[in-house]
Amino acid sequence: MRRFNIAVLAALTLTVGLTAVPAAQAHGGRAPLGIDNCTATACHFDVPPGTYDVEVVLGGDAESSTGISGETRRALLPETVAPAGERVVRSFTVDVRTPEGEPTGVAGTAGLDLAVGGSAPALADIRVTRARHARQVFLVGDSTVCDQPADPYTGWGQQLPQYLRRGVSVANYADSGESTVTYLGNPLLWATVQPLIRPGDLVLVQLAHNDKTTDEATYRANLETLVAGVREKGGRPVLVTPIVRRWFNADGTLNNGTALLVNGLGVDHPAVIRSVAATQEVPLIDLTAKTKALVESLGVEGSKALYLYNEKRDNTHTSVHGATVYAGLVRDELVAQHLVPRGTVRVG
């Protein structure tokens, strides 16, 4: 989502909308919370942890362009244009939890927080109700996936929610610095996520960047443990190969070691993930192959914008732009492999 200036935000006009109801009613899902919970730039809803449907009405007297983010910098609705004098209705489902970002991070703000952005924002109305039949997409991963707390760092999981419509929410339990070993061993991570999985939920697993000293047998066993744990709860595991690092050879191809996630012990992480997916009959999103093709097609210079090279000389972590592009690749695979209903995905 593009950044926006304060002057534009100050001009945002909130038109007459739904009348707010006591928070206790919204907690029980009996009545909506509305526009009275919003200021010119943001909305706060005093709700407990859970899954919530949000419906927004966008537009005003002049042509507008509005995007919505929430909680820890999650992109929830892509920038949406409304012609002058017209209203556009959009909806999405959002996961509210504590901590609201990385599982081992700070608690964040209680309740649901939304930020109104875009090049010419205009929020006319909003309705928040507890979701009754939402499907969760859990994310298990590292810093390239997680809800990063501070700009310019952004994980692809942080950008994925904007591609999903009402009825499917993203519960991002990725955490910076985690390997398969530490994710399974930390009680704030897998031991917290597994009990939350319900029948039919998807669990996308991308762990490899920090398995630098994990031998192949242990790495394989850890992936199999995660797969079995998801299935035990009736969920659907999906293995995701890691995004590439931006390290080029002289001929313009990516380095077979560092860039393509082969660790110091010679363990080819993407290859092991592909093998486990095949033997365990688990859907595979080969993000390594897809990001490799994209980065190499853009070349040494063009690919810098996907990562934080210009800002931090960082060839591992993605920019907002890169995370959004990579989230789009995941979205495309979710649709192509029929892992989520096509009607719940934004494709434009």
Q: Measured between alpha carbons, how far is 27 from 33 in angstroms, rounded to an integer?
A: 10
Both tokens of residue 276? 């486990």
Sequence letter at residue 137: V
Q: Which CATH architecture has domain 18-130?
A: Sandwich (2.60)
List per-residue pLDDT tens for the chain, 348 residues long: 333 333 333 333 333 233 233 333 444 445 578 999 998 789 999 999 999 999 999 999 999 999 999 999 999 999 999 999 999 999 999 999 999 999 999 999 999 999 999 999 999 999 999 999 899 999 999 999 999 999 999 999 999 999 999 999 999 999 999 999 999 999 999 999 999 999 999 999 999 999 999 999 999 999 999 999 999 999 999 999 999 999 999 999 999 999 999 999 999 999 999 999 999 999 999 999 999 999 999 999 999 999 999 999 999 999 999 999 999 999 999 999 999 998 999 986
Chain centroid offset of residue 248 CA: 27
**What three-state secondary structure class fits 48?**
coil
Please check whether the two domains, 18-130 and 135-344, share a CATH topology.
no
Q: pTM for this one?
A: 0.90
Q: What is the pLDDT of residue 31?
A: 59
Per-domain boundaries in the chain: 18-130, 135-344
Buried b (16+ CB within 10 A) or exposed e, 246-261: bebeeeeebeeeebbb
Q: Measured between alpha carbons, how far is 42 from 46 in angstroms, rounded to an integer?
A: 13
Q: What is the pLDDT of residue 60?
A: 95
Closest to 173 measured CA to CA, from 186, 160, 189, 158: 189
Q: Which CATH architecture has domain 135-344?
A: 3-Layer(aba) Sandwich (3.40)
- Long-range (24+ apart) CB contacts under 8 A made by 187-191 are 188/103, 188/104, 189/103, 189/104, 189/140, 190/140, 190/226, 190/229
Closest to 204 measured CA to CA, from 260, 137, 261, 114: 137
